[in-house]
Amino acid sequence: SSFKVSTPSSDLIAIRGQPTVLGCEFTSEPDPSLSSLVVTWQRPEDSQVVHSFYYGQDQLERQSLNYWNRTALFVSELKRGNASLRIEGVRSKDTGMYLCLVSNMKGTGRAQVRLVYGAFYTEPRLSISASPHGVTVQYESEGFPKPEVQWVGAEDQNLSHHTELTNDSDMAGGLYHLKSIYEAHTYPLSVTFTLKNRLLNQDLLHFSLDLKLRHENSRLKKSDKFRKDNIKHGITKSPTAFYLPILIKAQDFVF
């Protein structure tokens, strides 16, 4: 039969800081010594060597420093035609195409797979600035890629807001820093803040705020629902969501 090398046709979603596996299969041969097998993983855009295997063992002299001490083949699976590569501690720079090249006595072949990097957004940090003229509510969070942000009023109407998104890969490790601000000039104030990470199927946080004036004080009540979908080895599943209630002590703002 003809020699074939194959990789998954769909993109591989990899999570920041977690391991991931780049799948690659090939037509194997009955050679338990693996003496004729050559497996090379490369980045096709710049020919970086991600991992090499030949003469029956790993050969990492030409491995890119970006992947040093982070990659491994499943050596016991090679004789079964499995050349998948495990990468530890996924980083934003790992994003892109990967080329799996395999050669043995049956032939030579290659196939590509795309790695897409993502990071769950952190629990937003809340800050409030209040005055007799109104209130400014701000949330900050970090994650990747760009999220969808929405502020909704008491009657489910969309509210105008100001959202800043910055990305400093050196300082933040490949994360977007989100700062979203809503300003209101009337009381009582009732708003809901939501943040969605579509890539990771993450309806990450959902805050409901009720702010009312009482004499000289305004009191804040906050309820928070947290849901995070499990993603393993780049395969999005639909597990049972879990909810984490977070209580914040009421704060007084004296005008």
Give the pLDDT confidence score for residue 240 in this predicted structure.
23
Q: Would you call 234 exposed, middle or buried from its count of C-beta atoms within 10 A (0-12, 13-18, 19+)?
A: buried
Q: Where are the domains of the chain?
A: 5-118, 125-250
Residue 223 has pLDDT above 50, yes or no: no
Read off the pLDDT of residues 15-29 as tens digits, 9 standing for 90 and up.
Answer: 999 999 999 999 988
Classify residue 215 by its DSSP letter.
T
Read off the pLDDT of residues 26-47 as tens digits, 9 standing for 90 and up.
Answer: 998 877 788 899 999 999 999 9
Residue 34 CA to residue 7 CA, distance in Å, equals 21
128 forms beta bridges with 137
6-11 average pLDDT score: 96
Q: DSSP letters along 18-83, please? A: S-EEE--EE---S-TT-TT-EEEEEETTTTEEEEEEETTEE--TT--GGGTTTEEE-GGGGGGTB-
Give the pLDDT confidence score for residue 1 in this predicted structure.
56
Return the amino acid letter for 84.
Answer: S
| Structure token pair of residue 103 | 């050669």
Give the pLDDT confidence score for residue 164 in this predicted structure.
94
Read off the pLDDT of residues 80-101 as tens digits, 9 standing for 90 and up.
Answer: 999 999 999 999 999 999 999 9
Residue 180 has pLDDT above 50, yes or no: yes
* 69-78, 113-122, 129-138: least confident range: 129-138
Residue 202: pLDDT band with limits 50, 70, 90: very high
* 86-95, 167-176, 194-203, 220-229: least confident range: 220-229
Residue 170: pLDDT band with limits 50, 70, 90: low
Report pTM. Answer: 0.76
* 36-50, 184-198, 209-223, 224-238: least confident range: 224-238
Domain spanning 125-250, CATH architecture: Sandwich (2.60)
Residue 168: pLDDT band with limits 50, 70, 90: low
136-156 average pLDDT score: 92
Residue 132: pLDDT band with limits 50, 70, 90: confident
CATH superfamily name and code, 5-118: Immunoglobulins (2.60.40.10)
Residue 245 has pLDDT above 80, yes or no: no
Same fold, 5-118 and 125-250: yes
Residue 138: pLDDT band with limits 50, 70, 90: very high
